[in-house]
């Protein structure tokens, strides 16, 4: 099983990795995401760029303190016609977000970054488009009442594989991206690294066997030469 460090306290992401045979140690980066977002927004950065930067910052920070370890950072944001929407801090904010999304289409952007020794070595960003149905305020309040805190604060106000799917009339994109971790691309990267490691091991083994063969062959050649010389 491939081993990584997950620079996130998200139980959702940890579960996705482990279900796909990628073992992980959890070491949150604890960066100040709000400060980073504010700084990037002041520079007119797009939601996609903000998501990419946050994923990279998380991975780089944790990997700089974990020498030679592979670290995965991730971040997800909602892009509502250019407006950045992050995970809610409380239920009141969650309701306000749902009211903003109500009867409108938005993009959910998920970015992942793999770093080693404080530097990015691979990254990927994907987005999905979701169109929300038209609900009354009471219907949105009733929806929120069904969602436990653990799911509400982990899934950007909607749990796509559960009750959240009922909120949308149209979903275009990868469900894993909506859940915050485009696992198919991560698995492609992991499998590529495993193949490289296996090829290195095979090359080393073949070279070692060649060296052993050469070491064994030299005395044999000398012995054959001496035996031939004795006959003469």
Distance CA 155, CA 133 (A): 18
Strand 105-116 relative to strand 71-80, pairing: antiparallel
Look at the alpha carbons of 86, 53, 25, 179 in this order and tell me if their dihedral is positive or negative: positive
Question: For the chain, where are the E strands, in sequence order?
Answer: 2-6, 22-26, 71-80, 83-85, 105-116, 119-132, 168-172
Beta-carbon contacts of residue 2 (< 8 Å; ≥ 6 apart): 21, 22, 23, 190, 193, 194
Active-site annotation holds for 75: yes
- Out of 15, 32, 34, 75, pick the active-site residue: 75
Distance CA 98, CA 92 (A): 10
- Write out the catalytic residue numbers: 75
């Amino acid at each position: 099983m491939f081993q990584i460090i997950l620079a996130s306290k998200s139980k959702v992401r940890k579960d996705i990795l482990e279900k796909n045979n990628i073992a992980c140690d959890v070491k949150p980066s604890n960066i100040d995401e709000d400060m980073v977002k504010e700084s990037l927004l002041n520079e007119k950065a797009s939601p996609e760029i903000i998501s990419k930067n946050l994923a990279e910052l998380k991975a780089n920070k944790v990997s700089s303190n974990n020498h030679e370890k592979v670290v995965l950072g991730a971040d997800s944001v909602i892009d509502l016609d250019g407006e950045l929407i992050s995970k809610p801090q409380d239920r009141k904010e969650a309701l306000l977000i749902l009211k903003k999304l109500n009867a409108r289409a938005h993009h959910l952007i998920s970015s992942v970054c793999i770093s080693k020794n404080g530097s990015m070595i691979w990254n990927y960003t994907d987005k999905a488009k979701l169109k929300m149905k038209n609900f009354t305020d009471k219907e949105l309040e009733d929806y929120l009442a069904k969602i436990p805190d653990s799911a509400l604060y982990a899934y950007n106000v909607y749990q796509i594989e559960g009750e959240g799917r009922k909120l949308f009339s149209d979903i275009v994109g990868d469900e894993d991206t909506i859940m915050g971790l485009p696992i198919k691309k991560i698995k492609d990267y992991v499998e590529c690294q495993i193949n490289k490691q296996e090829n290195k091991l095979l090359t080393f083994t073949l070279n070692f066997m060649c060296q052993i063969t050469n070491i064994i062959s030299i005395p044999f050649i000398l012995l054959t030469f001496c035996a031939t010389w004795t006959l003469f």
